[in-house]
Structure 1
Amino acid sequence: MSSHATLAAAADDRKARLAKLKSLKRKEPEPASFDDDEEHGVPNSASKPPILSLEKPTLEEQAADIEEEAQRQAALDAQAAQENKGIDLFKLQPKKPNWDLKRELNQKMEVLNVRTDNAIARMVRERLAAKKQAAVQDMTKDGKEEEEAGMLEGTALVEGMKMREREEAEEERRERELEEAELAA
């Protein structure tokens, strides 16, 4: 019903504007004659200079103005129709019941992830320190063996980091699959 009311109001508004324009045209005074010859109906082109109507809008400009007005009015009508259309209930989807828990969990997990990374780094440092102490106690005579042991520890460290990254990627993939399955359900 509100769409009918708005359309009726828009129509009444247009009628009022048209009536106002008509009344303005009726009130315009007749152009005054500047020459006595015009009163007799015989124009004297030799005595009058040609009239240049540069101030008046051309026919093309008037057509462009009318077209712009029509487009603006059509856009307003379309907008009014869209507002009166209502809400599509099938497009509305409520948030999952645990959306706030996930948000809070992510905030807490950031702190825990930092702590986990620090703990891993500390454990690696402790392991390296223990290996160095064991190497010093064994008093290896050959310095090359000690360097090789350190290199093996470095490669083991890199492999451990790569394994952890793969585990994290796999865990993220599983979480995404679970979320997609929940969305589908």
Structure 2
Amino acid sequence: MTRLFITLFVFVTLVALAPAAPVPPAQKPALYYPTSVGAKWVYEWGGSDRTEQVTAVDEKDGKTVVTIGVLVGEKTRPYRKILVSEKGVFFGTIGLEETKFPYPMLKLPAKAGDRWDWEVTEGGRKVVCIVGAVEEVEVPTGKFHTVRFESETPVGGPGPRKRHGGSPPTWAG
């Protein structure tokens, strides 16, 4: 009987001293916007291409402020800041001086059919955003979650200007 207790004691002691299995690192949520300095993407813009690039990134309190530049000739010129977090992608109207980001470009988590709007302070115009497909795409660099969306912005002239967008595969991390 004493042997049983000694064996049980040794077994419990060894189990207690054994190292625990490593805890897997927490996965960062998909941010759906590029957050690496140097990341580039191209838009069709008025019949020509417009190349934008991340020129700076500032992370603080779970939020990331990304400075975006536009390629003009051979040089990238910073022109606006975007706030990226697990709650979505937000922008303002002040450009490089931005400290508040009141306008949601994309709200997260996104579901197809989600809809929101906001009023542009200059001129009282209303912008409407609608989430399309939320899907996974596969490209040569891997599989990525993407969100398609559409926004309508009233501009001077008949009817609103529609913009279709989405998070290209390189935006999801």
After TM superposition, the score normalised by the length of structure 2 is 0.17
Larger gyration radius, structure 1 or structure 2: 1
The structure with the largest helix share of the pair is 1
The structure with the largest strand share of the pair is 2
Which one has more relative contact order, counting CA pairs under 8 Å at least 6 apart? 1
After TM superposition, the score normalised by the length of structure 1 is 0.17
